Amino acid sequence: MKEIKLGNRVVGEDHPCLVIAEAGVNHNNDVQRAKDLITAAANAGADVIKFQTYKAETITTKSAPRYWDPALDRGVSGTQYDTFKNIDDLPFDAYFELKKCCQENNILFCSTPFNLGDVDILKEIGMDFYKISSSDIIYPQLLERIAIIGKPIILSTGTASIGEIEEAVSLIRSTGNDQIILQHCILSYPCKDEDANLLKMQRLQQIFPDIPIGYSDHTLGIVIPVAAVAMGARTIEKHYTIDKSLPDSPDHLLSVDPDELKELVLNIRRVEKCKGTFTSGYYEAESKAYLYARKSVVSKINIPMGGTITAEMLTCKRPGTGIYPKLINIVVGSKASINIPADTPITLEMIR
């Protein structure tokens, strides 16, 4: 698996899972709230905070229906355009402030562009890597515009067929850019647990063994992304907000708040520890149990030196410091080379 360097973080097989706090437009056009999102995400232990860069006029037609659960809009009706128009007005100059804030808090800054002009804006700001939405995996012009910049790319794969993913990867590589991370994603807002289909993430890793595979999560809570890490996710992206009760963005309700983000990071790091390594045999943590929880062939009675040992003289008990029960036949019929007290694990030195 290829290692991909994103700023001062590395994504790959032997590196910690990259945790991306997807703030999106949960700043509600407020620069200070965006900064608060950054500092809280950094304090929670996230590696990246990601925003979204778009204008309603360039991301959707005015008649495109919403595709997320209406409950996320808190009863406010309308089209995608109506939603995006309320949250697309963060000043361009603010992005420079946000990047500086990220640098001061040792968290990587990223924003997802949704059209060609957005790419040019973000290029001017200077990002360590680019994130491309699932919705744009079939937008080759956008993929190419980003790829030729030469920065690493995280590409989500929601709704995409394997063929479409292969086409996108091939296009990016055709520009000479081979710094690709894929993220399994289900574009359902919110996503039911039974729809997360984490097995597809593992299948993607089989199909693209040289590309790190992660997971972009839209379920409620933190259980599913933690499970994804246990199943091999190299990145986790999770919607995140300061306050779930805020209006305008439908993402607030399905996001984690700072306390939940912190818990998510802590659980991811815990799961990473438990994945460990493979060995055939016991681990160091089992060294005492290896000796004392297993069983040995044990004398039931006093066996005098020179005496022939019979099966009736033997039993099997802990500890496992003597001859294992599976080798009892080498004890039966042998002679005791010393006086063997009752209730003693029998070793090879005791018989001949």
Reported as a single tens digit per residue, the pLDDT across 44-85 is: 999 999 999 999 999 999 999 999 999 998 888 999 999 999
Same domain (yes/no): 255, 344: no
Same domain (yes/no): 111, 160: yes
Q: How many domains does the chain have?
A: 2
CA-nearest of 165, 129, 134 to 149 is: 129
Q: Identify the CATH number of the domain in which residue 133 sits.
A: 3.20.20.70
pLDDT at res. 288: 97
Please say which residue of 248, 275, 302 terminates a domain: 275
72 contacts 254 by C-beta, under 8 angstroms: yes
d(CA 226, CA 341): 54
Range list of β-strands (E), the chain: 4-6, 9-11, 18-24, 48-53, 108-113, 130-132, 153-156, 180-185, 213-217, 235-239, 296-299, 314-317
pLDDT at res. 75: 83
Instruction: Show the domain range for 170.
Output: 4-275
Q: Identify the CATH number of the domain in which residue 338 sits.
A: 3.90.1210.10
Same domain (yes/no): 181, 293: no
Please say which residue of 241, 275, 309 terminates a domain: 275
Angle in degrees, 0-180, between the axes of helices 140-147 and 162-174, rounded to the nearest 10: 40
Same domain (yes/no): 132, 271: yes
Same domain (yes/no): 111, 228: yes
Same domain (yes/no): 137, 206: yes
Same domain (yes/no): 213, 337: no
184 contacts 215 by C-beta, under 8 angstroms: yes
Same domain (yes/no): 311, 254: no
Rounded to two decimals, the pTM is: 0.91
Ranges of the chain whose pLDDT falls below 50: none
d(CA 4, CA 123): 19
Reported as a single tens digit per residue, the pLDDT across 148-169 is: 999 999 999 999 999 999 999 9
pLDDT at res. 174: 98
Cα–Cα distances (Å) from 23 to 29, 166, 189, 200, in that order, read 12, 28, 15, 25
